[in-house]
Structure 1
Amino acid sequence: MDRYYKKRFVPLALPALILFVMVIVIPFIMGVIYSFTAWRGTYFAGGDHFWEAFVGFDNYVKAFKTKKFLDAFVYTIKVTLVAVVAINVVSLAMALLATSLNKGAAAYRTIYFLPNLLGGLALGYIWQFIFEIVFSKILFGEDGIISIPALCNMTQDNTKALFALVMLITWQMAGYMMIIYTTGLNNIPKDLSEAAAIDGAGTWQRFKSITVPMLMPSFTIVFFLTLSKCFMLLDQNVALTDGNFSTRMLAMQILYTTRDGSPPDYGLAQAQAVIFFVLIAAVTLVQVSITSKKEVEL
């Protein structure tokens, strides 16, 4: 079988490679080139070709001088930091519970994985209904079961919307990350924990000294996925707040940049997209480098 795949690797991989180049590589290169031009979507300002509309780094300078872009940049970092912590804590707790169950573990994992199958827009509208109707009018409003003003109108305030978005993201992603952590926990030899328990190590000591170091490969994967996905959030942000109350994240800011001016400045939007790509690449590479160095071989 190995000889079969080695012999036919090129013809088998060629269609996927061609598709990747046409759909990903070529548009990416074109996008980088257009970020240095006065591109208006259907035409180039200043000429018929992109080299005649070349503006250098003006779009990048303009991006960092645009208040909406800077606000979206800061808001994205805030959401990502809170969400990454929340997702990892919740998913790890769920994984520890799943591995401790003797019966019904499969059903438990399936139920908590289901939210990950829903689309971002659907989730956004579902949680918008929960925050605006269930929370604000039924449970925590003035006429609700218990009055908690902090949990009312959560999509209509910059700070509240941050935590509302984190709750949505955690509910969606935690089940998927739980599966990764569960796999890592199942790969940890049980005799290590049993030997530590015999030596008098408590539950917290075994978790800190055995489980966490042995689980570092799973931490690397989960942190990478959560960081990248949180930075790239779009559908959930659109459905939950539509960027109102200064709640735009970077992906939405790039999308709406073409709507903020007339004629639409696609060159500026493309420059923001390139900055966005560099930011995600840098953050994820640094994170993977740091966490991978702490991995322990089984």
Structure 2
Amino acid sequence: MATTPHLPAGKAGTDAYSVHVTPESAGWGHSSLRILELPPGGRHTFATGDSEWIVLPLSGSCTVTAGDDMFRLAGRESVFGGVSDFAYMPRDADVFIASQGGGRFALTGARCERRLPARYGPASAVPVELRGTGNCSRQVNNFGAADVFECDRLIAVEVITPGGNWSSFPPHKHDERRPGEESELEEIYYFEFADHEGVPGLGYQRVSPSGHGGGTDVLAEVRSGDVVLIPDGWHGPSMAVPGHDMYYLNVMAGPDPDRAWLIRDHPDHAWIRSTWPEQPVDPRLPLYTAPEQ
């Protein structure tokens, strides 16, 4: 890889973006992530180039324009406050983002071949899934999941883990193509944490070598704005410390001809799934649901 897998807040930024991960900077072929912070009245223009993009408000609202297509995104107060609407932008387009009140916006990208039309994704159409039970309970906002919203290559979802819970567990991988069983996908984790009485939150992320690919090995303390790059390996758990809810945005893409999220659980830990039916889902979840249409 061209960089270290764990990028603390501020280490992967540029003048335009607080986070700017490209295939070149990550040392892989497809996945990208930019975090755009705009002041009130702020504006930003970017070219999509050879990639498709989803513009997702993390906080605040904005308008997104490409050619004759313009979408008003109502957004949300924070990632812990609700599901957001979003806009899909095709490759080979010039995109203009403007925010009257300011905000923070994720640009999730993937190199692609097809040029699909620009589209609006309403918050009301985002499936909110509760995954796991007990202290493995977490919430998944499947706004850009492979079976939910059409893209050429891009897969993107949000995961919220209540404080004290373990997410991305059992550890799993998707670093080799095994048709019908496992996808080959590069993955980006972008983290935010809920503060408690002004104290910043934190968590921990583990990635261990799978024996396939480059042998990524990470045990990182992660905080708001941090990024972890996962080109290969068993990833998980993602651990939220007690008292601080954890959010992460997953961005995935890869070379497989089929756009699918097929994973293989770590054989030492896959058994934990069999215990889930015996336990209730964490009563703190869902943290919120999608608004009604």
TM-score bin (small chain): under 0.3
Report the structure number with the largest CA radius of gyration. 1
User: Larger % of helix: which?
Assistant: 1
- Larger RCO, structures 1/2 (Cα 8 Å, 6+ apart): 1
Task: Give the TM-score taking structure 1 as reference length.
Answer: 0.20
User: Larger % of strand: which?
Assistant: 2
